[in-house]
Amino acid sequence: MRAILRPAERLEFPGKVDSNSPAHWDGERLFIFNSIGHPYRSEGSSLFEMGPAERVTFNNQVNGGRWIEATWKADDGTLYGWYHHEPVGLCPGTNLTAPKIGAVRSRDNGLHWEDLGFVMEAPPNTLNCEAKNGYFAGGHGDFCVFLDPRQEWLYFFYGNYAGPVEEQGVSVARMLWKDRDAPVGKVWKWRDGDWKEPGLGGRGTPIFPTFVAWEREDCDSFWGPSVHWNTHLEAYVMLLNRARGTGWQQEGIYVSFNKDLSDPTGWTPPEKIYDGGRWYPQVIGIGEGIKGTDKLAGRVARFFMHGISEWEIVFLRPGEEP
């Protein structure tokens, strides 16, 4: 399996983008969330006919910014979301933070949210205020969430920026879907072949380990996974950033494939599809008889970086020509 890019007419999300931008359908209306320290929601009849972005509200306040990076709609219409939170003041005299992941719930397609608490956090005593990457002194964030076909498990694919270098990189955790309304303490990280470490404070084994530790000036790591189910490939597709050096200089965009969401070892070695580029690669599925989102696409989808699409991405089966 592979993916290639081809030019397309420029298209932009309605809101400013500083994270993954989840989307869902409610009937014939498409909803997209864009975040830059706070989430904004837009809606329309299609990806190409979206209205203006509107600021969403929460029932509480947190000490720092929130970015909604993943959503999933239940059969009863309730929308569940997960956000990347960056606390302020962790490393006085610096702008460094250590993100963590929280859960929210909405009854009106994400205009108003009820906070359900934090579900993922780095192990204690891993904050490193001497980190030289320019942004993070540890933490977990820059993630996506995917529900398995049996609606049994939610899988969290996240960046771990904390702890020993062998534990840093893109990692995975999971939570029972039935625990979605009371998620605190219900997430389990994958470590050494088993789902045995708590989401709050536990340690994990990365599926894509960091090459050079995040705390170093010459850091080198994959990060920011975005996962969708591809109907043409009949496989899951993960898009990844790769950062090299202070300021998270973008080395390129990569793709990986996996037939089994429950098998963290099943992801193929990431292959580069774009040199350089911008943060937050993702797709929005279009056409092909499906209601495409960031979680569902077919053979051709729109490819976004930093909320801008100037490309289509074409997915090819083994031996298939573009």
d(C-alpha 183, C-alpha 197), whole Å: 15
- SS in 3 state form for 65-90? EEEEEEEEECCCCCEEEEEEEEECCC
Full pLDDT tens readout for the chain, 322 residues: 999 999 999 999 999 999 999 999 999 999 999 999 999 999 999 999 999 999 999 999 999 999 999 999 999 999 999 999 999 999 999 999 999 999 999 999 999 999 999 999 999 999 999 999 999 999 999 999 999 999 999 999 999 999 999 999 999 999 999 999 999 999 999 999 999 999 999 999 999 999 999 999 999 999 999 999 999 999 999 999 999 999 999 999 999 999 999 999 999 999 999 999 999 999 999 999 999 999 999 999 999 999 999 999 999 999 999 8
What is the Cα–Cα distance from 108 to 168, expressed in whole angstroms? 37
* Cβ proximity of 82 and 104 under 8 Å: yes
Query: 300 CB contacts (<8 Å, ≥6 apart)?
Result: 286, 287, 288, 312, 313, 314, 315
In DSSP terms, 25 is beta-bridged to 30
In Å, the largest CA–CA distance within the chain is 55
Architecture of the domain made up of 2-316: 5 Propeller (2.115)
Q: Which of 264, 214, 261 is nearest to 242 (CA)?
A: 214
